[in-house]
Amino acid sequence: ATAARSTLRIGLIPADGIGREVIPAARRTLEALGSDLPKLEFRDLLAGFDLFTRTGTALPRETVEVLKEGCDAALFGAVSSPSRKVAGYSSPIVALRKELDLYANIRPVVSVASESEERPAVDLIVVRENTECLYVKQESLTQTASGKEARATRLITERTMAFELALARPRKQVTIIHKSNVLSVTDGLFRETVRAVPQLLEVAGRFDSVAIAEQIVDSAVYRLFREPEIYDVMVAPNLYGDILSDAAAALVGSLGLVPSVNAGDSFVMGEPVHGSAPDIEGQGIANPLAAIRSAALMLRHLKYQDAADRIDAAVNHVVREGQFLTPDLGGKSKTDDVVEAVLRRL
């Protein structure tokens, strides 16, 4: 991905619930950036549990094809997860991550510093492996003489993206999160692979400045809550990363603030960390900032750093000023009021 494009083609997949309220907000923000970006072309694409209940398909083939062939990047809203297993349904976001080979989920968690603070108290990135681990969903149930027995397969292979991210940060520190004291084969491979990255690279010494630390997942959660400032880039297998990044979101106040991107070698898809929030859907009060920040993160990944910085600065201003906040952050504003405040600042 280079910044030398004449147009930037972005697929929009609002999917379910408040995804349909926050993705339009992210689109308006991108459109307001003007000459910082090439000409923007948006493609509206279908997916989701609602779509499945209406048509029997959660992820139409056309959506995948347009993304693969006609888009440089995408923004995904949220998908509702049925609480019980529904015959024929499987999550479109899990399928999209696989189809597009988006093997890393990158979730920066940053608290908003007050004017007087030099740097935010929490400023870390969780890099979560995105397509493997227990999420290969190979589960089985058998009846044995002593009762039911359930098994799940866990897949770990050798790939990682965390070092590239660490290099671009002042502290340049990667912490490997694992449980290889118990799962010595699977987590052992994960740990060894990350440790070997600096030597694996042909350009000798490229990652020499990155410090590698490691932590057992349970103590990592404990320390995340007690001293979040010790972490810079945390890299974890899928399941631990899932749990850690939601926990980290709690440290900065609201799920409605935390962005992510799903990234591979040739595609990037922004996605707010929150879900479809059925409890507030349709009320016009969803916090759009996680989606807007996800758009910024997508741009950063495509190397439009200035445009991404402008969005982040505008969002930080709106949060710090505190005048236009949605109810999840203790405010009384509507989604649209927050978007307008961001656009004015831009």
Contact 17, 276 (CB under 8 A): yes
**Choices 85-93, 198-206, 236-244, 274-282; region in contact with ligand ATP by CB under 6 A:** 274-282
Judged by CB under 6 A, which of 81, 153, 283, 323 binds ligand ATP? Answer: 81
Buried-state track 29-61, b at ≥16 Cβ within 10 A, e below 16 = bbebbeebbeeeeeeebbbbbbbbeeeebbbee
**Choices 56-64, 76-84, 134-142, 189-197; region in contact with ligand ATP by CB under 6 A:** 76-84
Catalytic residue list contains 72: no
Give the nearest distance from C-beta 291 to ligand ATP in angstroms. Answer: 7
Give the nearest distance from C-beta 79 to ligand ATP in angstroms. Answer: 6
* Site string (8-27) toward ligand ATP, x via CB under 6 A: ----------x---------
Give the nearest distance from C-beta 48 to ligand ATP in angstroms. Answer: 10
Residues 137-176 that bind ligand ATP (CB under 6 A): none
Catalytic residue list contains 179: yes
Beta-ladder partners of 261: 106, 270
Residues 268-307 that bind Mg ion (CB under 5 A): 275
Query: What angle separates helix 19-31 from helix 335-345, to the nearest 10 degrees?
Result: 20
Q: Which residue has the tokens 């906040």?
A: 325
Give the nearest distance from C-beta 213 to Mg ion in angstroms. Answer: 30
- The C-alpha atoms of residue 196 and residue 312 are separated, in whole angstroms, by 34
Closest CA to 284 of 228, 338, 229: 338
Q: What is the CA radius of gyration of the chain?
A: 20
Judged by CB under 6 A, which of 33, 76, 77, 80 binds ligand ATP? Answer: 80
Catalytic residue list contains 85: no
Of the residues 68, 137, 218, 222, only one is catalytic, namely 218
Give the nearest distance from C-beta 175 to Mg ion in angstroms. Answer: 25
Residue 78 contacts ligand ATP per CB under 6 A: yes
Contact 208, 198 (CB under 8 A): yes
* Token reading at 332: 């009384």
Residue 276 contacts ligand ATP per CB under 6 A: yes
For 317, other C-beta atoms within 10 Å of its C-beta total: 15
Q: How many CA atoms lie within 13 A of 296 on its CB side?
A: 25
Contact 49, 19 (CB under 8 A): no
Catalytic residue list contains 242: yes
Catalytic residue list contains 101: no
Q: Which residue has the tokens 């910085």?
A: 309
Of the residues 50, 103, 123, 135, only one is catalytic, namely 135
Of the residues 179, 187, 232, 328, only one is catalytic, namely 179
Rank residues 274 and 293 by Cβ distance to Mg ion and give the closer one: 274
Residue 246 contacts Mg ion per CB under 5 A: no
Give the nearest distance from C-beta 327 to ligand ATP in angstroms. Answer: 7
Residue 277 contacts ligand ATP per CB under 6 A: yes
**Cβ contacts of 325 within 8 Å, gap of 6 or more:** 318, 319, 331, 332, 333, 338
Pick what 279 binds: Mg ion, ligand ATP, none; C-beta below 5 to 8 Å, kind-dependent. ligand ATP
Judged by CB under 6 A, which of 23, 102, 177, 290 binds ligand ATP? Answer: 290
**Cβ contacts of 268 within 8 Å, gap of 6 or more:** 1, 73, 74, 102, 261, 262, 298, 301, 302
Closest CA to 295 of 277, 317, 310: 310
Active site residues: 135, 179, 218, 242, 246
State the residues that interact with ligand ATP by CB under 6 A. 18, 78, 80-81, 255-256, 274-280, 286-287, 290, 326, 328
